[in-house]
Every structure is written in C-alpha cells, then in structure tokens.
Amino acid sequence: MPRLPYNPGMAQLVVTGGARLRGTVGVLGAKNAVLKHLVATLLAPGIHRIDNTPDIVDVRLMAQVISHIGASCRFEGTSVEVEVPDELLPEAPIDLVRRMRASILVLGALLARCGEARVALPGGDDFGSRPIDMHLEGLESMGAEFELVHGVLRAIAPGGLHGAEVMLEFPSVGATENLLLASVMARGTTVIGNAAREPEIQDLAEFLVTMGAVIRGAGTSTIEIDGVGGLDPGRHRAVPDRLEAGTYLVGAAITGGEVTVIDCVPGHLRMELRKLGEAGCSYEVGKDWVTLSGPERPRPVDFATLPYPGFHTDMHPQMVSLLSLAEGTSVITENIYAARFRYIGELNRLGADVQIEGQHVIIRGVTALSGCPIDACDIRAGAALVLAGLAADGVTTVNDAEHIDRGYADFPGKLAALGAHIERFD
C-alpha cells in the first residue's frame, strides 16, 4: 500500500478497497453505557468495578471528568476500578465537558450526592441543537434550582431532591439518565413518563440496583424510582455495544463478505438487521452472535431513525454508505439529529449520489465508488467513510480519524483482522 504524506497532528486511516471482510470479531461494552456507569459511581463512596469496558477516548475523557470531581480510576485490561471518596468537588471543568456531551450527566449525580453542582454546558459531536431543557425541567420539579453564569450551569437543591412525576416531551436518553441518577437518593418516589427505552438505560438501572437503588420499569416507557438514603459501591458488566456490532455487520454487507460478530445481543439490533435483510443481506442469529453475509449489490431501502426500538440514528451514516451502492434509490428520514448530514459531502467526493432535502436523505445508488482523501467529522461518520473506502476502487484516506477513536477500540486493527487493507498513521 502506498504511504501517503504524513499530516502532523492529524490521524489518518488509509484504506485500499476491494477486499471482502470475512471472519469473526468481538465487541466490548457499549460506550453509551460505560460512560454513564462511570458517572453513577459518584453516588456512593468506596471502590466500584466496571467490567467489559472498551479502551476508547470517550471512556478516558469521562474518567478525567470524574477524577477532577475526586474519584480515582484504575484501568486493567477490560475492567476499570473507580474509588470514590467521602467528599467530592461538585464541578466539572469546561475544558473536559466541552469535549463530550455525556458529561452533563454529572449534574444529576452531583445534585443527588452533594446537593449542588457546577457544570459547563456540554459539547461532543456537532449534530445541531440538542438542548438540555428537559433535563433541567425534570430536575427543577425535583427541587433543583439553576443559574447560568459565564457558560457554567450552577445548580443547587436547597432542601434536597424529592420525588416527582416527570413527563418527558420526547423519550430523551440523556434526560432519562440524568433523572434516573438524580432520583435514586431523592426523598420519596419519582416517576419518569415517556422515558427512553434504550438497552443502555436498562443497563444503567441494573448497575444502580447493584448499588442498592430501587428501580422498576427500566427499559419501558415508565420508570419508577423509590429514593433510598444511601448507596453502596457496585460491580457490573457493561452491556455489549450494539453500534460497534452493527458497524462490523455493515462492513460485511458493503464488501459482499461474511462476518460473525460475537459477544453481542442480537435483539438490540432487531430493526437494523431487518433493514439489512431488506437490502439483500442474509443473516443468522444466536444467543450472543450474529453472522451476516452481504449481497453482490444491495437493494434500496427506506427507513426513518427513531428512538429505540426504532432504527438507531448512530447507524444512519453506515447505512447511507451501504445504500450509496444500491441498485435504486433509498430515502432515509432523520428524526433525531437535524444536523447529522455533514459527512454526506465527503461521501459524495467518493462518487456517491446523495442529496439532502430537509430531514430526508435521498440516496441514488451508483455502481462504484472511487477512493480519494476525505475528512471524518464525528464518530459514526468516520466509521461510515471507512466502510465506504473498503468498497471503493483504489485508495481512500480518511483524515481526522481520531474522531473514530472516541467510540471504537482499535477499529483499524479489527477490520484488518477481517481482511481489510487498512493502515493508520498518526
């Protein structure tokens, strides 16, 4: 493979297309679960342990956030031990929070544990406006008061948090998690209506239950929490990452290969597998594995992204890469993040024919893609562009590949083990 010019300060993945992915790949715990488990440890002093933890940038960033608050984290293999002291510093610094949106979840945990919190407004991937109004309104109904000063949200609960009935306008994952973290030690009972039902919500609840929380209905649209006076350290194995699993399955589909993903939960990908089947893929599922074979050329598919159990928005870019090669026109409706489309210009540079009309993505399938330099703009877009490069003619260089490191552990290594021709340059 030709070595391209090195760009200082920018990670590159150099992909030579044409290889069919074949083999077996395992996934670790879900990023969107482990980040919340790390925050949950702040609720109880002592030593916690989280197993099945992926070594990804966002996990390390969250470890820095809770370390600033007072916890200490020790990573060993795929486990992390978190020691939480009796006294915490109830603030999350702006330089860390602005790099990762999930940091806003320390708000509920710190209000529950300390009765106060100072948290910078969150950052993370730029998907347009994702306000935290539902978080704040729910916490206010539980007795919290807020003030925004120089970009820092200052929160206090003068009389402590108390139970409340909160009806979310939308089944927001972040709002559900923040209210869940805040309510486990609030006085009385909290009911979260129109709650998010994602597997990661249920997994967070299971971890909190190991710490002594009393939670009913996690994974349904109504969650009831009876507040307790205090929690104990917990140990938990994080639920497998359905998005990582889904990405490797799309890799098999787009290259016409056959990949078995192990250590996953196939039921968490029910809608995504259904749409891959409609695209011409064949697949078989077991208790903790999926084997998928890709078609010579995919069929067009229409779908809309929706809260779980609908099609996950974080699988949208990967499917667009696949459907860019379909024999016909596909239409995807993005209902979750209005500004998720920045990667489409990069995909079109590879020769795709993808247009945006409002919240709809119109994908007119082409017979081939052609490799060239392109830029990743977020985690899933970066992964999707790499998958497109696997199917493209020639060499594709994906710049800003450090975005991918936020959500995938050793992405190029795992793809190479499946037969991809891929190299990383830092």
The tens digit of pLDDT for each residue in 139-178 reads: 999 999 999 888 888 999 999 999 999 999 999 999 999 9
Please give the residue range of the domain that contains residue 68. Answer: 31-229
Do 77 and 18 fall into the same domain?
Answer: no
Q: Is 421 exposed, middle or buried (0-12, 13-18, 19+ CB in 10 A)?
A: middle
Domain end point (choices 206, 229, 252): 229
Do 22 and 89 fall into the same domain?
Answer: no
Under the banding of pLDDT at 50, 70 and 90, the label for residue 7 is: very low
129 against 292, higher pLDDT: 292
Q: What does the pLDDT look like over 272-289, one tens digit per residue?
A: 999 999 999 999 999 999
Task: Tell me the DSSP string of 270-306.
Answer: HHHHHHHHHTT-EEEE-SSEEEEE--SSPPP--EEB-
Phi, psi of 120 (to 5 degrees): -65, 150
pLDDT of 421 above 80? yes
Per-residue model confidence (pLDDT) at position 82: 98
Range 193-204 average pLDDT: 98
Do 219 and 247 fall into the same domain?
Answer: no
Is 7 a member of any domain? no
Do 111 and 155 fall into the same domain?
Answer: yes
Per-residue model confidence (pLDDT) at position 128: 40
Per-residue model confidence (pLDDT) at position 404: 97
Under the banding of pLDDT at 50, 70 and 90, the label for residue 96 is: confident
Per-residue tokens: 358:
């409002």
| Per-position b or e across 130-163, b if 16+ CB within 10 A of its CB | bebebbbbbbebbbbeeeeeeebbebbbeeebbb
Q: What is the pTM of this model?
A: 0.94
Residues 6+ away with beta carbon under 8 Å from 36: 102, 105, 177, 181, 200, 204
| Per-position b or e across 38-65, b if 16+ CB within 10 A of its CB | bbbbbbbbeebbbebbbebbbbebbbbb
Q: For all residues of the chain together, what is the average pLDDT?
A: 94
User: Which of 287, 263, 290 has its CA nearest to residue 277?
Assistant: 290
Per-residue tokens: 105:
């979840």
Is 360 a member of any domain? yes
Residues 6+ away with beta carbon under 8 Å from 304: 310, 311, 332, 333, 334, 335
Distance CA 63, CA 284 (A): 37
Find where tokens 């259904």 sit.
274
pLDDT of 83 above 80? yes
Do 210 and 89 fall into the same domain?
Answer: yes
Is 235 a member of any domain? no
Do 293 and 420 fall into the same domain?
Answer: yes
Angle between helices 31-40 and 199-210 (to 10 degrees): 30
User: Which of 44, 196, 174 has its CA nearest to residue 103?
Assistant: 174
Distance CA 332, CA 316 (A): 8
Which amino acid does the sequence have at 163? G
309 upstream amide cis, omega within 30 of 0: yes
Distance CA 41, CA 82 (A): 7
Domain end point (choices 196, 229, 262): 229
Per-residue model confidence (pLDDT) at position 127: 36
How many domains, in total, are found in the chain? Answer: 2
173: domain CATH number? 3.65.10.10
CA distances from 138 to 14, 323, 397 (A): 46, 40, 45
pLDDT of 21 above 80? yes
CA angle 350, 354, 358 (to 5 degrees): 145
Distance CA 234, CA 56 (A): 22
Domain end point (choices 229, 251, 270): 229
Do 217 and 285 fall into the same domain?
Answer: no
Under the banding of pLDDT at 50, 70 and 90, the label for residue 314 is: very high
Helix, strand, or coil here: 216? Answer: strand
Range 369-395 average pLDDT: 97
Do 36 and 160 fall into the same domain?
Answer: yes
pLDDT of 213 above 50? yes
Is 283 a member of any domain? yes
Range 398-409 average pLDDT: 96
Is 322 a member of any domain? yes
Per-residue model confidence (pLDDT) at position 5: 39
Which amino acid does the sequence have at 408? Y
The verdict on whether 125 is a catalytic residue reads yes
CA angle 217, 223, 225 (to 5 degrees): 105
Is 234 a member of any domain? no
Per-residue model confidence (pLDDT) at position 9: 47
pLDDT of 224 above 60? yes
Do 21 and 65 fall into the same domain?
Answer: no
Give 220's DSSP letter: B
92 against 101, higher pLDDT: 92
Do 337 and 362 fall into the same domain?
Answer: yes
Do 163 and 144 fall into the same domain?
Answer: yes
Range 360-370 average pLDDT: 98
Under the banding of pLDDT at 50, 70 and 90, the label for residue 122 is: low
Is 409 a member of any domain? yes
Asked if 82 and 50 touch (Cβ cutoff 8 Å), the reply is yes
Within 10 angstroms of residue 426's Cβ, the number of other Cβ atoms is: 11
Is 157 a member of any domain? yes
Per-residue model confidence (pLDDT) at position 55: 95
CA distances from 322 to 98, 196, 199, 423 (A): 32, 28, 25, 22
Range 373-402 average pLDDT: 97
Do 245 and 393 fall into the same domain?
Answer: yes
Per-residue model confidence (pLDDT) at position 129: 44
Q: Which of 58, 125, 314, 378 is catalytic?
A: 125
